[in-house]
Each structure stands twice: as C-alpha cells, then as structure tokens.
Amino acid sequence: MTRLAGLRVWVTRPAHQAEGLAGAIEAAGGHALRQPLLAIVPPADAAAARRGLAAAADADVVVFTSANAVTGTWELSPGWRPRGSAAAVGAGTAAALRERLGGRVLAPESDYSSEGLLALDALTDVAGRRVAIVAGEGGRRRLDAVLAERGAEVVRAAVYRRERVAIPRDRLAALLHEADAIVVTSGEALTHLAAITPAALRPRLFGRQLVVPSARVLKQAHDLGFAHPRPRTAAMRADAVVAALAQDDRAGPGEIASE
C-alpha cells in the first residue's frame, strides 16, 4: 500500500499514543517522524481526582472527553463503574470505554465533537439530572456551560494533565526541514507548536501540510497563518488521518469530516 508514497509526516501525539498512527502512515508508504508536543501525566491532586470520580459514578450520565480520560479513570480507580450511562465525545474514546465497560456507550455517529455530543437525545433533556464530565485538567468548558444552561447539575473529575514538551531549536528546525506534513491532535498542541517556533522558522512551519482534529482547531490554524497548503481536518483515527494526508487537493475541497 503506497497511498502516501514517501510522504514525511511529523506525528505530534503523546509518545504512548503515537505508534498506531505512525504505523498506519508507514504501512501506507509514508515515513513517520515521532516527536510529541504534549505529554500526558497524572493529575496534580490524585485524591481530589478520586473524589471527583466517586461523584461521577453516581451521575445519570458520565461524559468522557478523550481516551486519556478513560485511561486515567481506571489508573486512579481500577474498580470504577458508573451507575448511569457512559458517553464519549469521539469514536476512539467510545472504543476505549467499551473495552472497560462493555455494552452501549453513547457517542455521536459522525460529528465527533462537543457539538455532536450535545446533540444526542440523552444530553438534550437533562434538566434536574446530574451529568459528570471526566477530562483533563484545564481545557475547554463548553460542555459544562451548555449542560448547565439546559438545567443539569454538572460535576467534573480531572484525571490527567497535559504537559508541554520542550523541543530544542535544532531538533525543531530539523523536523520542520524534513517533514512534508504535520498531524496536530489538539488546539493546545497547536498553540504550543506556534509558541516554540521562532520567527525565522515560521515560514517553514506555515508551509507544511497540516492535519487537525476539528473545525475549531482549523480556524485556529488559519488565524495563526497556515494557509497554503490549506489545513485539513480529520477524525483522529489512523485511517482518517491517512485519508486526509493522501487527499489530492485538485480533486475537491481540502477538508475531511472533522472530529
């Protein structure tokens, strides 16, 4: 399989999650450059995280915002089980939840985003219900705000942290010189990449093909200066990212269904 035919792709995923995507790129004929922008580490206050999970277990619906949230939950509390329904923002998160819980997991069928999740019937009529959000420290609070507006009691458990990885300038310059494309899996990672890139290297950065996970991060990329070639969106599954990287812009619009 040579869909990527020698394309050199910088995979910026955290090290423990990079191999599946890197392997798919190489199986498609590309060359994966592995260098994370973020690292996933335990929460600063593990006891507080466990208290949050205890409250989440009693909720009517528990929303997991990422596969890292799933992993972090069971690392902190191996016997954890929810009383109510479990929901996931994306397909990868839903698959990770099914491995732990079995049975049905609520998830969008195509719009893998907070907006897609909020459109589900189970999260539309939530007045008077408790909804727990299991996520990393910090991050967006759109789910919290919208669910509270709909009348839910919202609780949150922060079960991991993202740490920005320092990349020496020489290493960064070499990556930007070698890579034809960059896969960035979150807005925070993209912000970090832009922040650590000195002015002299920015034209090189903005000239690389970029694949991002959502329309929100796509807008962020445009605002930073990515324009030619056009950034693309793809659900952050290996097959979808390879499809985005293999897309011929001459065939049509340069964006694929977002997460």
pLDDT for the residue 248: 67
What phi, psi does 128 have (nearest 5°)? 80, 0
Q: Minimal CA–CA distance to 18: which of 42, 45, 36?
A: 36
Give the sheet arrangement for strand 209-212, strand by strand.
31-34, 8-11, 181-183, 209-212, 232-233
Class of domain 8-37+165-251: alpha beta
pLDDT for the residue 135: 95
Mean per-residue pLDDT over the chain, rounded: 91
DSSP 239-252: HHHHHHHH--GGGS
Which two three-digit tokens encode residue 29?
């004929």
Which of helix, strand or coil describes residue 127?
coil
> Any idea where the domains of the chain sit in the sequence?
8-37+165-251, 41-162
Spatial distance between the Cα atoms of 171 and 35, rounded to a whole number of angstroms: 9
pLDDT in tens, 37-54: 999 999 999 999 999 999
pLDDT in tens, 144-191: 999 999 999 999 999 999 999 999 999 999 999 999 999 999 999 999
Angle ∠(184,213,93) on CA atoms, nearest 5: 105
Q: What is the CATH number of domain 41-162?
A: 3.40.50.10090
Which two three-digit tokens encode residue 61?
């619906």
pLDDT for the residue 105: 92
pLDDT for the residue 250: 39
DSSP 19-70: HHHHHHHHHTT-EEEE--SEEEE--S-HHHHHHHHHHHHTSSEEEE-SHHHH
Low-confidence ranges of the chain (pLDDT < 70): 1, 112, 248-259
Q: Do 8-37+165-251 and 41-162 have matching folds?
A: yes
